[in-house]
């Protein structure tokens, strides 16, 4: 698990201030406050129905809170609508990586074209787009020779790393990953975890990550900080090593006892 210290005091990349979300008469998030600073990798863990995916969608403004505010890179995105919301999304300040990479990668388009699609829309020059694509592929450890294929020609782990590269290529300030390894077999899961650890180490304060998962083991291998969500509320929040070794809340202890932890060499550096 990570020994990397949390980022020093800097202007947050993400701030949630007492955010609540209702679906009909059901409160799915209840007064959630969370801060993510440049360089931080924050894992959000909880069982199915805890509100994790709703939290991710709220950060990206796919869901509008009924109370509270969400700031991304200093901008209050809570009440954005219409053209203002579309403009903010095109800015690429925050990018989302789905659990199923085929939701990010068009099955009828080569992986290479999918990765640079956002750059084409933004009219980035071809040479610059190629440079940024190569840098993104290197960041996730994916061979460039693979990207001439359609997504179906890649393994599940390779597709997920390609989806992460697609998100990185627009140079976001915040990367939100929703269950990035849950649909993968053990070997592919380990490779994606290692790629995210390497990305964390390489990008430093240039990028913050919010990783949503029910798998506390994978989060322990890649995150600096763990936030435990239960029934829409944060019940524990602290440095990963402390939360895993000395959980304070009974719900956290139950999660840790139920899932074997993943250890990777790069995550256990001295």
List, for residues 4-13, the tens digit of each pLDDT value.
555 555 789 9
pTM for the whole thing?
0.88
Residues spanned by CATH 3.40.50.300 within the chain?
Answer: 1-93+173-270
Place of tokens 């322990």: 220
Cα distances from 40 to residues 8, 112, 195, 248, in angstroms, run 10, 29, 16, 22
In CATH, which of 3.40.120.10, 2.60.120.620, 3.40.1380.20, 3.40.50.300 is domain 1-93+173-270? 3.40.50.300
Q: Is the pLDDT of residue 221 over 50?
A: yes
Give the pLDDT score at 125.
93
Read off the pLDDT of residues 14-45 as tens digits, 9 standing for 90 and up.
Answer: 999 999 999 999 999 999 999 999 999 999 99
Q: Is the pLDDT of residue 110 over 70?
A: yes
Read off the pLDDT of residues 162-216 as tens digits, 9 standing for 90 and up.
Answer: 999 999 999 899 999 998 888 788 888 888 888 888 888 887 778 999 999 988 8
């Amino acid at each position: 698990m990570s020994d990397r210290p949390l980022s020093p005091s800097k202007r947050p990349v993400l701030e949630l201030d007492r955010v609540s979300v209702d679906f009909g008469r059901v409160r799915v998030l209840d007064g959630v406050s969370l801060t993510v600073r440049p360089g931080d990798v924050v894992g959000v863990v909880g069982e199915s129905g805890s509100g994790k995916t709703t939290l991710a969608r709220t950060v990206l403004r796919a869901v509008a809170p009924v109370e509270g505010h969400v700031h991304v890179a200093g901008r209050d995105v809570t009440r954005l609508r219409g053209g203002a919301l579309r403009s903010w999304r095109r800015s690429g300040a925050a990018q989302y990586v789905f659990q199923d990479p085929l939701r990010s990668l068009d099955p009828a388009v080569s992986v290479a074209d999918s990765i640079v699609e956002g750059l084409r829309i933004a009219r980035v020059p071809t040479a610059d787009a190629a440079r940024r694509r190569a840098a993104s592929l290197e960041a996730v450890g994916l061979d460039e020779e693979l990207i001439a294929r359609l997504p179906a020609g890649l393994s599940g782990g390779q597709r997920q790393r390609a989806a992460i590269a697609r998100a990185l290529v627009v140079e976001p300030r915040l990367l939100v990953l929703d269950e990035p390894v849950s649909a993968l077999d053990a070997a592919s899961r380990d490779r994606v975890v290692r790629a995210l650890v390497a990305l964390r180490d390489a990008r430093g304060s240039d990028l913050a990550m919010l990783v949503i998962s029910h798998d506390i083991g994978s989060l322990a291998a890649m995150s600096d900080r763990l936030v435990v969500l239960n029934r829409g509320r944060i019940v524990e929040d602290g440095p990963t090593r402390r939360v895993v070794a000395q959980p304070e809340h009974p719900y956290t202890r139950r999660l840790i006892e139920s899932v074997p932890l993943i250890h990777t060499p790069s995550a256990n550096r001295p």
